Amino acid sequence: MGSISTPTLAVLVPGAMGAAIAARLSVSGAGTILTNLDGRSESTIHRAQTSNMQHGSYEDIVQRASYIFSIVPPQEALNLAETIVSAYKSSGSQRPLVFIDCNAVNPESMKGMQALFDGIGITLLDGVIIGTPPSDSFNPGIYVSADPKDIAALDDFTRMASGLGLNVIPLKGEGAGIGDASAVKMAHSGIVKGTIGLFTTMILAANAASPSTAEGLAHALNLSQPTLADLLIRFVPMSIPKAYRFVSEMDEVSSFTGGDGAEIFDRLSKIFGRVANDDRGDIADTLLKFVEQAKEVRGRSDAV
């Protein structure tokens, strides 16, 4: 393994979050970041290039990288882990490697993933990213936990990534292990995305009742819950293009919650599915129209 301050890094894949994480690492001293661009769109390839990411095969990545960040939609997390394990085994490599799964999967999924890495020379860290992609004004939190036997690897990763501009929060102490970081993500997503799902549900229900009901709802929120109105105005438009990701995320939260709570998130998964599969854009138009109504009402209130 190379110098702990500037090891070779890989980020899979260069989506909006992955590319922004890679860019932050690169400008903070990591240099070129490896990724895999097989089958990726022109826009993704361009995003990777502008983030100083360099294409490599999976076999090349496992032989060159010391740390691999997995940042993919939840439904792709296990497949990517399997791909890395397969590439590592087929390469015949015995060099130490750390794989940081940074995806919105439930703790049981993470513990199942852990079995893939047992005894093969790759250390698994359970990581989650809380917040929007890094920017000049914001640095998301990256919460990370590890199996108790891998605390030294967790400490090394924390020092390395923190030194390269990331906001790493290690979860250590009594009972800490694989699954704890994922549990933070599940609880956080249940609150934040669950709230967005509730906003979406009630906006659509109000509009189904009548346009005047929707207008009344915008006014009522401003009157009694202006903070919620502000959150709705901020989050609902942002959620529309991400709805396809929220479907599987709500499924993971459902599994995490269990019991009576699971049904709530199963329903929210279906709501986000409706938004994601809104080919004609009717649902998106309804949501965005309501947001504009809410903005107008808030604006009149602020002007008084």
Is the pLDDT at 95 greater than 60? The verdict is yes
pLDDT at 93: 84
Residue with the two structure tokens 């959620």:
239
Query: pLDDT class for 3, splitting at 50, 70, 90?
Result: very low
Cβ–Cβ contacts within 10 Å for residue 9, how many? 26
Backbone dihedral region of 255: left (phi > 0), alpha (psi from -120 to 50 degrees) or beta?
Answer: alpha
Give the domain ranges of the chain. Answer: 9-178, 182-303
From 179, 30, 15, select the one nearest 105 (Cα to Cα): 179
% helix, strand, coil for the chain, step of 5:
65, 10, 25
Query: pLDDT class for 1, splitting at 50, 70, 90?
Result: very low
Residue 3 half-sphere exposure, CB side, CA atoms within 13 Å?
Answer: 5
Please answer whether residues 172 and 154 qualify as being in contact, where contact means their C-beta atoms are separated by less than 8 angstroms: yes
State the Cα angle at 40 between 36 and 43, rounded to 5°. Answer: 115
Query: What's the whole-number mean pLDDT along residues 61-90?
Result: 96
Task: Report the alpha-carbon distance of residue 291 to residue 133 in Å, rounded.
Answer: 23
Is the pLDDT at 263 greater than 50? The verdict is yes
Please answer whether residues 253 and 266 qualify as being in contact, where contact means their C-beta atoms are separated by less than 8 angstroms: no
CATH number for the domain whose boundaries are 9-178: 3.40.50.720
Is the pLDDT at 140 greater than 70? The verdict is yes
Q: What is the pTM of this model?
A: 0.92
Find out whether the peptide bond into 291 is cis, omega within 30 degrees of 0. no
Structure-model confidence comparison of residues 1 and 44, the more confident one: 44
Calculate Rg over the CA atoms of the chain: 21
**Residue-wise pLDDT tens digits, 213-259:** 999 999 999 999 999 999 999 999 999 999 999 999 999 999 999 98
**Cα–Cα distance list, 181 to 84, 133, 162, 260 (Å):** 21, 18, 17, 23
141 contacts: CB under 8 Å, gap ≥ 6:
129, 130, 131, 167, 169
